[in-house]
């Protein structure tokens, strides 16, 4: 077990099993020393986190949904790299938030993923980011997060 996996265990975070792609795409594409990851959804052991910010979901619930997406990203990274200790830098995060037209706190929601990456990887977890609002996301989910990771 690598250092990052041990840290996650100490945080009480269990890395889930990777779920196979549900369409004509792959979860990650390697380009040199970078991994471009597809959008990850907020699947938890209790099921999908479904909701819409500004109506059925609070910012706090959205934050937890984005964090769940980030945890699922770690599962893909571990599957692709063998160990999370190979992560050199979280380069870019793009977060999508299902929300009402008047909802303006997308960055606060996607902080759930950003804060988690920094908590896990320290300075290697700091990244460039976009937080985008949309009227709906697949399966009625509240958030979706994708990223680019540099690895060793």
Looking at residue 35, its pLDDT comes to: 98
Confidence of residue 21 (pLDDT cuts 50, 70, 90): confident
Q: What is the pLDDT of residues 44-94, one digit of tens each?
A: 999 999 999 999 999 999 999 999 999 999 999 999 999 999 999 999 999
Query: Of 101, 114, 25, whose CA–CA distance to 66 is shortest?
Result: 114
Task: Return the domain boundaries, the chain.
Answer: 29-151
- Measured CA angle at 144 (ends 85, 17), to 5 deg: 50
Q: How far apart are CA 134 and CA 55, in angstroms?
A: 13
Q: What is the pTM of this model?
A: 0.97
Looking at residue 61, its pLDDT comes to: 98
Q: Cβ contacts of residue 70 below 8 Å, gap of 6+?
A: 40, 112, 113, 116, 117, 145
Q: Cβ atoms within 10 A of the Cβ of 91, count?
A: 15
Q: Is 17 left (phi over 0), alpha (psi -120 to 50) or beta?
A: beta
Q: What is the DSSP letter of 41?
A: -
Q: Cβ contacts of residue 8 below 8 Å, gap of 6+?
A: 14, 15, 74, 84, 120
Q: Does domain 29-151 have CATH number 3.30.1330.40?
A: yes
């Amino acid at each position: 077990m690598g250092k990052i996996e041990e840290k996650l265990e100490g945080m009480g975070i269990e890395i889930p099993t990777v779920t196979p792609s549900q369409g004509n795409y792959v979860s990650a594409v390697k380009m040199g020393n970078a991994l471009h990851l597809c959008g990850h959804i907020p699947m938890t052991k209790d099921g999908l986190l479904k909701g819409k910010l500004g109506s059925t979901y609070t910012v706090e619930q959205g934050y937890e949904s984005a964090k769940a997406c980030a945890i699922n990203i770690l599962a893909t990274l571990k599957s692709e790299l063998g160990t999370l200790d190979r992560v050199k830098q979280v380069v870019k995060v793009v977060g999508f938030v299902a929300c009402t037209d008047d909802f303006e706190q997308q960055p606060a929601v996607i902080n759930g993923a950003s804060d988690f990456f920094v908590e896990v990887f320290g300075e290697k977890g700091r990244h460039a980011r976009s937080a985008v609002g949309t009227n709906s996301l697949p399966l009625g989910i509240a958030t979706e997060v994708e990223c680019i990771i540099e690895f060793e």
